Structure 1
């Protein structure tokens, strides 16, 4: 009997290893291969309950090992999305393949239009807490030759919804203070605001859904509220770039189907005038995280976050949508003129790629 058969047989007779056991096993393997500083090892004299010569910790270590070798990993270890969601995600993946990606010709740009909304919380001069939804809209122009200049347009921010009454003016002032004027940044390889070149390394990601999901669990291990939630977030964040090719987009959808807890949360979710199917997962932090996909084209429409519990500090209640991102991609012939590496009009500081620019509005001192 090989190791995988032993693992499957073990799983039929005892409960799944605890999250703590999985975490310890994963940390041990990470330490072994040198991906992070050494971690103090548990007391070797501590006893564990045995079954067939295998401990819960050993089972956790074996699962972690399989994650890192892409043989089995966490993909499928605890099941996946419910049947309806898995079927709809498979259909979306097929639609993504059937609908070819737009072709960006020489001199053209892929325009990635992002309309985002997030929640801000503020305490005013009277020590009153309030919350509001604030826009953060961007247009990114990616040239056919990625080494050419990319262009990023960042729009002024505005408050579009206030939670509670009597704070509308204060919410608008707070939004304008965070970003009051349009900015245009331009840089080769998308290194806007003196940042490092943008390289999502999408070509290196596996196209096999199970290997892809195992890879995602591996690179996100130890982050986020939960391993499954962080895997879902990785996929959502990758899709949000707007530059994911159809074959990888299809693989990511099928990878979502392998994440436990994912279900169809809204069969007619609308963002920015477009309607699709929302696939979501509830997290222990009290939020429902969703991705919304057009079932006809397999294109990502956007993301949405829904609050699941009443807030204790501001008038935001269970069921309130507290943020979303709507994504649209098109091919255009031109990008806006003007702008600079530091879109705020400042100059790079601390060297190229430092991610830092001077503030032209701050008085200079000798």
Structure 2
């Protein structure tokens, strides 16, 4: 593949990851798009007509959108072909005795926790002085892997492997969002969470190109060749502040808006909850919208308190989840401090990858926001 082809495929993969992150539709379209991209580097990229989210990779669907191809295979782990087989490096997992004891939160109701969190919110939007930037840090663990076949095949079961890879996204946003933004991506450790073959036969993990490096662009347009073209101030792009400006601040009106926003996907409770999590963990939702939005989320049918959970940056909160056949999506809040601190995804019985055991955490994210004194400078803790 040419250097130009590599670059275009990187941008195509990044955009497909982001579309998958907010999609509850069948993955057939995403598989077909990526197969076309992988088979012809010179072909123009094919993207959905409207992408509501353009920031970071999906906790749930990154590998699903790009690794499960009908009758084919795609490897994640570098810009070249599949890596040579070698023993996979895996992070040591703590024993049960080493894991901290979780408190029992089973008697709490989701409505109680979400409304309590909303009551305790004291955060205000930062006032940036000249030269300062809003800093958003997202620490996450994302699915990366390789799969041949799909779980729907009858002739033979799919084969492959799946890693949970750590990636940190650092974003600097100026007060005037039309100016240049900076995003820095840093790949970390990866842990094998399942495979159809012995772990010793699984290739060692290699970070994908879009999980590393720095990218700059006005209005956060970090992949300028991606289609559809990013429009500054687009009120349909949830990665831009303009998206949140005109949303209602009344919980009932917000719930109605969320139902309408997800109407093309059926407005199912799982879909509404999924999108609500994306908005709340975007890092750019205005402070005065967070409380009403949490109260709106409390009105979604089926949301329940799951457990006390920790985020990748070490904070502890309460996970509120909603189940689908393939996974459980959790929003993690700290009701004592009035903060949304992250999210996680847990595999269910009908997980997209049959080698991943039910109950396995397949994604985890923490979000923090601060004020940076200059672009590229990480604020002190």
Does structure 1 conserve the Cα–Cα contact (< 8 Å) formed by 2:311 and 2:343?
no
Q: TM-score, normalised by structure 1?
A: 0.62
Match of 2:127 in 1: 103
Equivalent in 346, 357, 367 of residue 327 of structure 1 = 367
Written as runs of structure 1 = structure 2, the 5 A alignment for 1:269-288 is 269-283=310-324, 285-288=325-328
Match of 2:161 in 1: 130
For residues 310 and 190 of structure 2, what CA distance do their matches in structure 1 show?
A: 22
**Match status 1:212 vs 2:283:** no
Match of 2:213 in 1: 183
Shift of the 241–172 alpha-carbon distance from structure 1 to 2, 3 Å rule, reads same
Q: What's the CA shift for 1:186?
A: 1.4
Shift of the 313–257 alpha-carbon distance from structure 1 to 2, 3 Å rule, reads closer
Match of 2:294 in 1: 253
Q: What's the CA shift for 1:312?
A: 8.4
Q: What's the CA shift for 1:179?
A: 1.9
SS in 2 for 1:101: coil
Q: What's the CA shift for 1:268?
A: 4.2
Q: What's the CA shift for 1:128?
A: 4.9
Does structure 2 conserve the Cα–Cα contact (< 8 Å) formed by 1:130 and 1:167?
no
Q: What's the CA shift for 1:158?
A: 4.8
Match of 1:239 in 2: 280
**Match status 1:89 vs 2:122:** no
Q: Aligned-residue CA RMSD in angstroms?
A: 2.6
Equivalent in 173, 176, 179 of residue 148 of structure 1 = 179
Match of 1:346 in 2: none
Shift of the 308–332 alpha-carbon distance from structure 1 to 2, 3 Å rule, reads same
For residues 163 and 309 of structure 2, what CA distance do their matches in structure 1 show?
A: 25
SS in 1 for 2:199: coil
**Match status 1:115 vs 2:139:** yes
For residues 172 and 223 of structure 1, what CA distance do their matches in structure 2 show?
A: 34
Does structure 2 conserve the Cα–Cα contact (< 8 Å) formed by 1:132 and 1:171?
no
Shift of the 236–303 alpha-carbon distance from structure 1 to 2, 3 Å rule, reads same
Q: What's the CA shift for 1:181?
A: 7.5
Gaps of 5+ in 1: 1-81, 338-366
Written as runs of structure 1 = structure 2, the 5 A alignment for 1:1-366 is 84-96=109-121, 98-123=122-147, 128-156=159-187, 158-164=189-195, 165-167=198-200, 170-173=203-206, 176=207, 178-179=208-209, 182-194=212-224, 195-196=229-230, 197=232, 199=240, 200-223=242-265, 227-283=268-324, 285-309=325-349, 314-336=354-376
Q: What's the CA shift for 1:180?
A: 7.5
For residues 339 and 322 of structure 2, what CA distance do their matches in structure 1 show?
A: 20
Shift of the 277–313 alpha-carbon distance from structure 1 to 2, 3 Å rule, reads closer
Rg larger for: 1
Structure 1 stretch displaced more, 257-266 or 156-165: 156-165
For residues 115 and 307 of structure 1, what CA distance do their matches in structure 2 show?
A: 20
Shift of the 223–313 alpha-carbon distance from structure 1 to 2, 3 Å rule, reads closer
SS in 1 for 2:113: helix
For residues 341 and 351 of structure 2, what CA distance do their matches in structure 1 show?
A: 28
Does structure 1 conserve the Cα–Cα contact (< 8 Å) formed by 2:163 and 2:205?
no
For residues 168 and 326 of structure 1, what CA distance do their matches in structure 2 show?
A: 32
Q: TM-score, normalised by structure 2?
A: 0.59
For residues 209 and 180 of structure 1, what CA distance do their matches in structure 2 show?
A: 37
For residues 177 and 340 of structure 2, what CA distance do their matches in structure 1 show?
A: 22
Count of matched residue positions in the alignment of Structure 1 and Structure 2: 248
Q: What's the CA shift for 1:311?
A: 5.1
For residues 287 and 211 of structure 2, what CA distance do their matches in structure 1 show?
A: 35
Shift of the 335–312 alpha-carbon distance from structure 1 to 2, 3 Å rule, reads closer
- Whose helix proportion is higher, 1 or 2? 1
